[in-house]
Amino acid sequence: MPPQDAPNCVSEPENSDTAPSPFLKGIIAVDLDDVLSNTNEHIAAWHNENYGSNLGLNDFYYYYYWKNPCWGTPSQTHKKVKDFYATKWVSSIQPIEGAQEGTAVLRGLGYRLVIITARNEHIRDASWEWTQRHFPGFFEEIICTGQFAAQQRPDGVPEQTNVITKKLTKAEVCIRLGAKLLIDDSLENAIACAEYVSPNGDDIVPSVLLFGDYQWNKRLSLPED
């Protein structure tokens, strides 16, 4: 969700008793990195400047960075990514070409738009600020997939919030939101939606639009490979 002081980007007509809501077609969930934000191209340039590499977008063969050239071990990669998000490079990332026009069309068609990102919670505020700068008023909120809790509780007991017990998949977050569609550049997330098995048989899994002609979404990559 957005920072607590961020305004709700959706406004209802003043006479809501008689005027229909302009957003009746449901929710579309949209990934942030390399769907809206040209992240990998910028992080490659940052890596080249700081580590003397010669990485380009086509060198990201896999979704998990440490499987790609020059990134090192998983722990080394984690540190690099953390360092990148602490720099001013992040604020200079530009939107993916056509993303602003595409999201404007979806809003105009009557869809509610929500960002679901695998980014860490500690950079949510900066990510929301970037979104509002480049996509002002298009998105209702930004959700980091680690911020919700998948909690086991007895029937009839309200779910407790702000307690993280495990990271939810994007499929599970979409189901909780009631999203009809997920737009994502990750083959792994697309397959997770396709293979999701509802614990109670009632969950409606969203369709997935696999976005982008990227090297990393042409091959499956699992963290345990």
In this structure, what CATH number is given to the domain that contains residue 166? 3.40.50.1000
- Tell me: do 111 and 51 sit in the same domain: no
The boundaries of the domain holding residue 115 are: 27-35+95-217
- Tell me: do 209 and 129 sit in the same domain: yes
Residues labelled as active-site residues: 31, 33
Say what the pLDDT of residue 25 is: 84
Ramachandran region of residue 209, left (φ > 0), alpha (ψ -120 to 50) or beta?
Answer: beta
Say what the pLDDT of residue 17 is: 42
Spatial separation of the C-alpha atoms in residues 8 and 19, rounded to whole Å: 19
Q: 74 in a domain, yes or no?
A: yes
- Tell me: do 205 and 105 sit in the same domain: yes
> 46-50, 84-88, 160-164, 175-179: lowest mean pLDDT where?
160-164
Say what the pLDDT of residue 183 is: 98
- Tell me: do 172 and 118 sit in the same domain: yes
CA gyration radius for the chain? 18
- How many structural domains compose the chain? 2
Q: What is the dihedral of CA 127, 128, 131, 137, to 10 degrees?
A: 170
- Tell me: do 86 and 122 sit in the same domain: no
pTM confidence score:
0.80
Say what the pLDDT of residue 207 is: 95
Is a pLDDT exceeding 90 seen at residue 151? no
